[in-house]
Structure 1
Amino acid sequence: MRVLMTTDTLGGVWTFSLEMAAGLLERGDTVLLISFGRPPSAAQREQWEQLELRYSGRFESLVTEIPVEWAESEGPVYERGAALLEQEAMRFAPDLIHTNQFCYGAIDVPIPRVITAHQDVFGRNRSCDERRVLRSPFLTRYKALAQQGLNSADAVVAPTRWMLDDLARSFTLSRNTAIVAHGRQLQARFQNFRELRAITAGRVTDAAKGLDTLAHVTAEMPIVVAGETRPGEEGKVPGFGTARLIGQLAEAEMVDLLQHSSVYLCLSRYEPFGMTALEAGLCGCAVVARNIPSLLEVWGSAAMYFDDADALSTILARLHSNATVLHDARESAYRRAQRFTRARMVEQYLSLYRRLVTPAERTQYAA
């Protein structure tokens, strides 16, 4: 099967699309991956280059700097992106288009289109109670474009039931919907010799990541924050309590940090799935998560949950002082994380692809 997939270079969407591409390529499929928004970093370009070398002739990549749909921008952003995708569809002749942006479900091609819903601006605002931005001109346009894409797509997929239900609060979902949990393949292992510290991740400017909770946490256990910071903000800064900010890490650096740490804190107020928490579990970290429905759905009883900074402080104190509790929490998260494999995710998506791409519908889109 030939699959044209869109991505962006921020966080979980990039990781998801790379996992999907690698899984499809392993099965003998052909993939064109097109990025939107910020250009890939050097480390991200290296990931693409590795796929190109390993699967020569079956993997292509294309970098655009067309803004993503949820970023405030001026001009005909959707029109530029749609024109590019239609042109690439004509050249690449895919059997199916898998877009990780809502709006491109509406591009004008006679090819099945699948949308994966990774986040929604309105849902994020509800979770963060940012009602002041709900009526901006940008969001009016965002909603119209996203709804158009959702109406036109052949299937809409979310990684959790919560995400699908929350999306239905923002938009009308009249088409075929499905839930496919994200999956991850890491060269990681459960090992007992690691530092007694907690790791969390996220852009410090993103209220949805909940990093401001750290300002009110008291804990003997060191806390390290990995993520994009403002210039000069590495180290201990006001607003993050005793936590230490270390800046943004490449994927390999983040995995190494997790493999040598004991605890991962998922502080997010809005988290449709939690890819970094999954990586932490696969690396053998105990997962301590905010008590929100999506994280409860993913982790069940395998994580420890908090509602506020006081509860988080209590959990960290317990993990710091009791080696048995810490080991059991790490083992529970590790076992739960094993369920979310790349192979399972890709197979479920392929099953959906096959239902959409029947022999009668497999029309070559060519000039």
Structure 2
Amino acid sequence: MAWPDGVAGLHVLMTADAVGGVWQYALDLSDGLRAHDVSTTIAVLGPPPSADQQAAAQASGATLVMTGLSLDWTAQSPHEVEEAGEAIARLAADLRPDLVHLNAPALAARANFDIPVVAVCHSCVATWWQAVKGGSLPEEFVWRTELVKRGYASAGRLLAPTLAFAHATAKAYELSQVPSVVRNGRRPAPVSASGPNGDFVFTAGRLWDEGKNFAGVDRLASRLAIPVLAAGSVQGPNGAKAQAAHARVLGQLSDMEVARHLSGKPIFISLARYEPFGLAVLEAAQMGCALILSDIPTFRELWKDAALFVDPDDESAVIEATERLVRDPETRRVLGSAARARADAYTIEAMSAGVLSAYRSLLEPKPSRSPLEGAAA
């Protein structure tokens, strides 16, 4: 990457939490940026990362700062979020990075940053509510949405992981410009030992999140002859909780443990009603798993012709698609190969290049206008 004069050795202050997919995004991006001589300090909000997560952060080259600040989506008042944003601004003033990368744009609602800010639209309660519930926002979501809207307005650049979600965000917040698309990327995890036999269905993610529709996967498990395994927590930091009556819940697994299960090439399923990207789907595709995905715009955009798409509310269609792959190993193999080929486009290198381009657009000096240009304007 050719940087403007004085930008080599860029230092980025990035925010993240250790609860969901943003954590993996932050570490992967830190790893990718390191190849371009960019160092990353991650300010961790919410619960502290586990020992495994901290080890992964160290391997990515990121420096962690545990802030103990409230997460925007679990905060009890606007004041908590605004205070967290101001604390991040003070941290930026102390560390003096070249740029701030907010993975929680609401943090910019009131904070005064004196350096460029890039914000990423990973997800938000407004678009979540529209996809999962519909209708008017509840009062507790109204103020959260207002903070996000103010944060979007304060950022120098907005990024989104898919075009479908970029348009959904622009519509929800009445943005004058659609966020730029930089798709997420992952590096396939090395597998040191073979996983279980692939005659099972696998899903992974925040099982407690109603938008992931784990309830639909659990009902599927009651009607299949093969087991359904689910990796992830059934209880969220916001008090949300999922019940499992039929699927076998494995709990929160490390990246290596998830990769070991995926190495057996099970049928991977996601019946999510809301998924701005879906890192777990990408991880399964990288391992050559056949994909059964809910028919939502983001999944269609990312995995067209490389997955079976189903209406998440049509249980008969979900059962039929799953049983088809159980009975037909050749179709399963072809779908798995197609998913793996499509996954080759979603790399850490491509993600890092896109993010670096956004950084550079804010950091490079703007050309000055000559007096003659001003007179002609």
- TM normalised by structure 1 equals 0.88
Q: What is the distance in 1 between the residues matched to 2:151 and 2:59? A: 32
Structure 2 unaligned residues grouped into runs of 5+: 1-9, 237-241, 368-377
Q: Which has the higher contact order (CA 8 A, sep 6+)?
A: 1
Instruction: Tell me which residue corresponds to 2:316.
Output: 310
Match of 1:104 among 101, 104, 107: 107
In structure 2, give the amino acid aligned to 1:79.
E
Q: Secondary structure at the match of 1:6?
A: strand
Q: Secondary structure at the match of 1:301?
A: coil
1:289 shift after superposition: 0.2
In structure 2, give the amino acid aligned to 1:229.
V
1:241 shift after superposition: 5.7
Q: What is the distance in 2 between the residues matched to 1:298 and 1:14? A: 21
Name the Cα RMSD after superposition.
Answer: 2.3
Query: Does the 8 Å contact 1:183/1:345 carry over to 2?
Result: yes
In structure 2, give the amino acid aligned to 1:60.
T
Instruction: Tell me which residue corresponds to 2:334.
Output: 328
CA gap 1:200/1:279 in 2 versus in 1, 3 angstroms: same
1:225 shift after superposition: 1.1
1:224 and 2:202 aligned: no
Q: What is the distance in 1 between the residues matched to 2:67 and 2:41? A: 13
Match of 1:197 among 196, 200, 209: 200
Residue deviations 1:240-262 (CA, integer Å, cap 9, x gap): 56421121212221122211242
Q: What is the distance in 2 between the residues matched to 1:16 and 1:215? A: 27
Residue deviations 1:305-357 (CA, integer Å, cap 9, x gap): 11122111111111111111111111111111111000011011111111110
CA gap 1:72/1:2 in 2 versus in 1, 3 angstroms: closer
Query: Does the 8 Å contact 2:167/2:178 carry over to 1?
Result: no
Query: Does the 8 Å contact 1:214/1:239 carry over to 2?
Result: no
Match of 2:30 among 16, 21, 33: 21
- Number of aligned residue pairs: give it: 346
In structure 1, give the amino acid aligned to 2:59.
Q
Q: What is the distance in 1 between the residues matched to 2:129 and 2:267? A: 28
Instruction: Tell me which residue corresponds to 1:291.
Output: 295
Structure 1 unaligned residues grouped into runs of 5+: 232-237, 362-367
Residue deviations 1:75-106 (CA, integer Å, cap 9, x gap): 72123222321222122222211100121234
Match of 2:185 among 178, 183, 186: 183
In structure 2, give the amino acid aligned to 1:322.
D
Query: Does the 8 Å contact 1:117/1:159 carry over to 2?
Result: yes
Q: What is the distance in 2 between the residues matched to 1:330 and 1:103? A: 38
- Within a 5 Å distance, the mapping from 1:34-183 to structure 2 comes to 34-51=43-60, 55=61, 59-74=62-77, 76-106=79-109, 107-129=111-133, 131=135, 134-136=137-139, 138-174=140-176, 177-183=179-185
Q: Secondary structure at the match of 1:149?
A: helix
In structure 2, give the amino acid aligned to 1:270.
Y
- TM normalised by structure 2 equals 0.86
**Percentage of identical aligned residues:** 28
